[in-house]
Structures are given as C-alpha cells and as structure tokens.
Amino acid sequence: MHTVVVGTSGVTASDVLAVARGGARIELSAEAVAALAAAREIVDALAAKPDPVYGVSTGFGALATRHISQELRAQLQRNIVRSHAAGMGPRVEREVVRALMFLRLKTVCSGHTGVRPEVAQTMADVLNAGITPVVHEYGSLGCSGDLAPLSHCALALMGEGDAEGPDGTVRPAGELLAEHGIQPVELREKEGLALLNGTDGMLGMLVMALADLDTLYKSADITAALSMEALLGTDKVLAPELHAIRPHPGQGASAANMLAVLKDSGLTGHHQDDAPRVQDAYSVRCAPQVAGAGRDTLAYARLVAERELASAVDNPVVLPDGRVESNGNFHGAPVAYVLDFLAIAAADLGSIAERRTDRLLDKNRSHGLPPFLADDAGVDSGLMIAQYTQAALVSEMKRLAVPASADSIPSSAMQEDHVSMGWSAARKLRTAVDNLTRIIAVELYAATRGIELREGLTPAPASQAVIEAVRAAGVQGPGPDRFLAPDLAAADAFVRGGHLVAAAETVTGPLQ
C-alpha cells in the first residue's frame, strides 16, 4: 500500500488525495517527531509559569480572560473538545473526514502547535486503521477554522463519540480504538485547542474539488467538440493564431483540446457546402473562452491550495524562538474565496453546456437534426426531458454560485465577529461539482446521438472512439423512446469515472 510520510514542511495535493480517497498509510518523519517534541518542551515550560498564556493556561475565545489553574487544565482541554463537538445534520462523506484529519495532522507535525508526538501518532494510527469519526454537515463558520468538524474528530481520539469502522458500520469510537489496539489520548495543555483550530475541512474539500474539476474541464472540452460536430459547426474558431492574440492560458488550452478531438472530422464545416453560416452561436463559438476562464480560475485556486498545504494554521502558535503567540492565521478567507470562485466558474460551464444541448434538440437551430433527436418525433419525445433535467441542474448551479464568503455572522459574544463561511463554500462546491458532472453527461448523451444521426458523414477518430466507449458502457444510441434514466446514469458514471477523457485520449494523446 502507498505510504505518505508527513514532515514539518506541509504536504502535497497528491498526498491528500492518496489518504482521503486512496486509503494510503501515514508515517511521521523523524524530523516531525523531533519538531513535535521540541515545541512541546516550550509549552510545558510556559505551563509551569504563573503567567497566563492563551490556550495553555487560559480559557478560549470570549472566555480567554480567565486564568486556569494547573489541576483544571486537563479538564479544560477535554471540555473544549466535548463542547465544540456540536455539529448537526447529515454525516459528512468519509473522504472529507479523512482529508480533514490528515490536514490537521499536517499542521500538528509542523512543530508550531505544541502537541506531543504521541498525540500525532494516534491521529496517524486512527487513519491507518480506517476509523472515520462521525462529522456533521453543520457547525463550522470557517473561523476559527472548522471548529465543530475538527472537534468531532478530536473526540474520537479521546475514545468518545461515534465513528465508522473500516467495515462501514458506525459504532462508539472507544470500541473501535480498542479493537485496533489504539490507546485513547489524554489531552494536556493546549492540545485540545490545537486539534480544533484550522482550515482543514475547507482545504481538504478544495483539494478534492480541484482534482475533480481538472477532469471535468477536459470532459467539457470534449463534449463541446462533439456538439460542434453534431451541429456541423466550424472548427476554424479554434485556430491557435486566434487564441494567441488573446493569450489567456486556459482559453488556449481549451481550444487546443477541442481542436485535437476534432482532428480529421468529416462533420465540422460541412454546413458551408449547402447551408452557409457566417458564424456559429456563442455557446459553440465561445466554448474555449468560457471554459478557459474557468481553467484560469482553477489555476489560481490551485495556487491558494498549495500555499495553504504548506501552512501551519493554529492559534496560538509556537515560534522557533520560544514564543507562543496569538494570531489570525486560522481565518478561512483565502480558501473561502477560491471555493466560491470555483462554484461561479462551474455554474457558467454548466450553463453553456446546457445551451449547446438545447440547440441540438431544437429543429430550428440544429441544422437538420430531428426534433429532440427523436426517432419518430410526435410519437417519440426523444431527449426532451433529459434537457429539462439538465436545465434543473443548471438552475441549481446558479443558486450554488451565490458566494458564501460574502456572508459573516458574529459568534462567541462578538469576539469572533467576522467569519469566513469557508466550510459552507466548500460544501456547496461539492454539490456543484456533482451537478456539473451530470450536466456534462447529458450533453455527451445528446451530442453522441446527434453525431450518429448525421448519416453519411464521418466523425473525427477521437469522437468515434468516445462514441464506441460510451456505447460499450451501456449508454444506448438513437432509437425509439425507452426508459431514459438508466442511460443518463450510465453517462454520468462514464464522465464521473474519467472514462470520457480516457476514451478521447486514446486518439488525441494527453489533453491539456
């Protein structure tokens, strides 16, 4: 099994994906263990002094003015975990919780939190055992980080609360730890706070969304190319020299992908022989510009994620010179903004894909295709309601594009009076990514049918490879009306699993 070694300098996106989705094992580097021990010595020294230090010998948030005596500090750390584990609503997905815990471990191992090495090792042991704490949908305001979700994870480390075992069954966390020979942690000064105070949930969801959207943007380039073929559009608008004079990198990449898919097509431009069109509609002609802008948004979001993956997010932090200082690095604004940016870009990509689907189904705009791509229009409804479903998804995408990060709601007796709502931004982005996958699947379904209805014309070799692969995956071609939902589900699985990109790349080679 793949192993991820966690050191002091952060982790990579591929590390997060390996642990969250691939079940990779985790090891702590010797450097990380040494840094943990050194930082703990500083915290222990401060804890022994009479002077109050936030998170070490004081209360938290609006209660930070109270000095806590030594005999109550272990109780203080337990209490912060128990009281902050106040989430409600549906369970959060297993991969999100694993990413959340792994990224908290990443910060703990930085040597800036003051957590003992044995606590960090327990975090790794729980992940390696396949134990996943139950985390709920609601509870995080994205400041101070993802408090409630992280608290539910810390609660499981203490042997309390519920968790899902490797068999998928939810049971008391203490029972699962015992079965795997893991001793529950007894938290000491600062440790409870250090386990709760970070942007780890929103960052984990950002990393996974970036991976999914990378595939979806390639998929959208492919379906846009297929729609262009089915509509007998012209690929002249994809010429590199046209995109060179407006040098947005994403735009050039999308145009190049479409051009690669359409190479040697017998459909593109065919309309010029018998029904001249000066220009294709915007949804066809401007596909690289819209998808390209989204790609450039992805690039910026990836930069933010890389910076955050290299960060140590905690409050207070232990500095190399021995100071323990309060700070505001836990604020989720940098991550929250890009999560919202991605939801906006995804909504626009879904919107333009739906417009191409609608054009394919409209006999007045499809340049010779039957109404709704039906076998016997009137008797058959064809893909009429598939487009309704796609339109409903697009409408939902527009609602999900409303930024969460523009909101703030004060908490903790006005001590935490401006929050990021980054967790909420991440949760709605996950829904947006799911919906975008379905939207692209509907365009794929319509475009492949449209191409097959162009009798006597030969599609591009890459398009043909996609058609053959999607038919082999159980998505049926033209014909009389049938139960449509299974076809749409198969198309969704085809896109979601990366099979659309893989099929095209058997001819084009790697797409950008």
Which residues are the active-site residues? 54
Question: Residue 380 pairs with which residues in a beta bridge?
Answer: 377
DSSP 143: S
Q: How many helices (H) and strands (E) does the chain have?
A: 19, 9
- Contact predicate 400/426, CB 8 Å: no
- Contact predicate 10/309, CB 8 Å: yes
**Closest by Cα among 393, 3, 10, 418 to 200:** 10
Q: How many CB atoms lie within 10 A of CB 44?
A: 15
d(CA 177, CA 131): 8
d(CA 258, CA 510): 12
d(CA 286, CA 450): 20
295 Cβ partners below 8 Å, 6+ apart? 217, 249, 250, 251, 253, 254
Q: How many CB atoms lie within 10 A of CB 469?
A: 18
- Contact predicate 393/440, CB 8 Å: no
For 21, 62, 299, 324, 335, the CA distances from 199, given in Å and listed in that order, are 19, 20, 20, 20, 8
